Amino acid sequence: MRINRRTLIRTGGAAMAAGGIGGTVKAQSSGGNLPPHVPEWMQYQGQPYLNPAYGTPSPHEADVVRRSIAGFVTDTAVASWTPIHRLHGIITPNGLTFERHHGGVPEINPDEHRLIIHGLVDRPLIFTMEDLMRFPSVSELHFLECSGNSSTEFSEKSSRLSVQMSHGLLSCCEWTGVRLSTLLDEVGIKPESKWLLAEGADAAAMTRSIPIEKALDDAIIVYAQNGEALRPEQGYPVRLFLPGFEGNSNIKWLRRIEIGEQPWQTREETSKYTDLLPDGTARQFTFNMPIKSVVTFPNFEKSFTEKGFYEISGLAWSGNGKVAKVEVSVDGGSTWQEAQLQEPIISKCLTRFRLPFTWTGQPFEVQSRATDEHGDVQPARERLIDEVGRNALYHYNGIQGWKVAENAEVTNANA
Ligand SMILES: Nc1nc2c(c(=O)[nH]1)N[C@H]1C(S)=C(S)[C@@H](COP(=O)(O)O)O[C@H]1N2
Ligand SMILES: [Mo]
């Protein structure tokens, strides 16, 4: 839904005209730096350059940071969560991209790094970074989500986490690299090829089997992120990027691709990253991340400061294609309103949604429900748990509720 004058008036706009946003001139004129006074920082020459070589955010934004959970983190098996509740639009800045690594971040000298492609191929080849960058390149915007993102919400009493800690194993960047299909053309894969093995150059030697169809479709061998080289924690100098696939399969620090006929049954696709079902059997190779959305404002840190107009906002995404619709409920799921979607809507990418809203000072519960272009609808939490049980750990995509109290404090409705 696109916003127009009528929807604005019907929803928040009326209150905006009546109540207004912003203090009156009289109310704000007392402080020395406030209008009509000339602020202090206009009265002397500013610094010529703050960070001549490489810029950093304003010190006033110092609380917009990745966060970790104490106890989860060991010396090397690390995760940090993106502050999705403090970001605007859809792009995750490189310094805030969530991190998940199982054997620490290797210190790779790109001049000594190679990618070998071998196995069921006509010509096994070894590529330098320079070689990889000579091939025709592509740049695409896609989300990356750890398959364990939001797993805390499976439990009977969720951990009462904030949106950063419940949904922040999620990022969205412009990824640049060479299509894997281009490299597979170079080596010439044999007709019987069905799977490939991707291996990382970290101490975990993270290894996953990937269907050859994905490799020939939209897989990218990525060396850049949001315009600059990959960050070390994102796989510098090169990673596998599989749009829409679970985070784990996006092998960082990629050093080896082997072409074969069958999956290799590695640790990461047997003891981990399988979905344990209620009957005790496990579902293997659930690659695509399902349709999902979450409200990011209001949140634990930023909520309403007074009655009146606000924009409820959040993110929606699907590993299966484009987001078609996001509905928002402000009455705990009884009724739903269609939110505006920020365009362009990109396949396997975050989509920002917004709903004009007037807060009357009443407590309420806000939720969002996304639908993708294939008609897949994000399930209610209870329905998802009924279906997959509480043994499950990965691919949680239940509808998320946030309770807003009379004092505007936000809490996790699953607690
Ligand atoms: N080589 C290697 N690749 C890896 C991992 C790893 O530990 N080693 N972690 C995986 C997991 S579990 C996830 S969710 C994503 C995280 O990517 P990011 O750290 O760039 O956000 O990388 C995947 N690729
Ligand atoms: Mo992950």
Kindly state whether residues 249 and 193 are assigned to the same domain.
yes
Judge whether 346 lies within some domain.
yes
pLDDT tens digits, one per residue of 69-88 = 876 666 666 899 999 999 99
Name the pairing type of β-strands 254-260 and 115-119: parallel
pLDDT tens digits, one per residue of 48-75 = 999 999 999 999 999 999 999 876 666 6
State how many domains the chain has.
Answer: 3
pLDDT of residue 73: 61
Residue 287: closest CA among 212, 221, 220, 211: 211
Judge whether 73 lies within some domain.
no
Q: Which atom of ligand 1 is nearest to the CA of 252?
A: 3
Q: Long-range contacts of range 121-129, CB-CB < 8 Å, 24 or more positions apart?
A: 121/184, 121/187, 121/188, 121/189, 121/190, 121/193, 121/259, 122/187, 122/188, 122/189, 122/190, 123/186, 123/187, 123/188, 124/187, 125/183, 125/186, 125/187, 127/183, 129/223, 129/237, 129/238
Kindly state whether residues 132 and 261 are assigned to the same domain.
yes
pLDDT of residue 26: 60
Confidence of residue 29 (pLDDT cuts 50, 70, 90): low
CA distance linking residue 79 with residue 168, whole number of Å: 10
Kindly state whether residues 263 and 166 are assigned to the same domain.
yes
Judge whether 157 lies within some domain.
yes
Of 257, 283, 309, the one marking the end of a domain is 283
Closest C-alpha to ligand 1, atom 9: 101
Judge whether 19 lies within some domain.
yes
Q: What residues line ligand 1, using a CB cutoff of 6 Å?
A: 97-102, 144, 146, 171, 200, 202, 204, 206, 233-234, 247-248, 250-253
Kindly state whether residues 402 and 315 are assigned to the same domain.
yes
Q: How far is the CA of 379 from the centre of ligand 2 (A)?
A: 22
Kindly state whether residues 31 and 165 are assigned to the same domain.
no
Kindly state whether residues 269 and 330 are assigned to the same domain.
no
Judge whether 58 lies within some domain.
no
Residue 184 sits in which domain range? 99-283
Identify which has the larger pLDDT, 156 or 264: 264
CATH number at residue 148: 3.90.420.10
Q: With a cut of 90, say whether residue 38 has pLDDT above it.
A: yes
CA distance linking residue 188 with residue 61, whole number of Å: 50
Confidence of residue 27 (pLDDT cuts 50, 70, 90): low
Of 283, 316, 348, the one marking the end of a domain is 283
Q: How far is the CA of 240 from the centre of ligand 1 (A)?
A: 10
Residue 215: closest CA among 238, 183, 247, 173: 183
Residue 326: closest CA among 280, 276, 378: 378
Kindly state whether residues 255 and 401 are assigned to the same domain.
no
pLDDT of residue 10: 47
3-state secondary structure of 174: strand
Q: Which atom of ligand 1 is nearest to the CA of 200?
A: 1
Q: How far is the CA of 85 from the centre of ligand 1 (A)?
A: 22
Kindly state whether residues 228 and 320 are assigned to the same domain.
no
Judge whether 315 lies within some domain.
yes
Of 283, 303, 327, the one marking the end of a domain is 283
Kindly state whether residues 119 and 34 are assigned to the same domain.
no
pLDDT tens digits, one per residue of 204-239 = 999 999 999 999 999 999 999 999 999 999 999 999
Q: Which atom of ligand 1 is nearest to the CA of 98?
A: 21
Q: Which of 160-174, 185-199, 266-280, 401-415 has the lowest mean pLDDT?
A: 266-280
Kindly state whether residues 307 and 264 are assigned to the same domain.
no
Judge whether 232 lies within some domain.
yes
Judge whether 75 lies within some domain.
no
Read off the pLDDT of each residue in 158-175 and give the average, rounded to a whole number: 94
pTM for the structure as a whole: 0.94
Q: With a cut of 60, say whether residue 249 has pLDDT above it.
A: yes
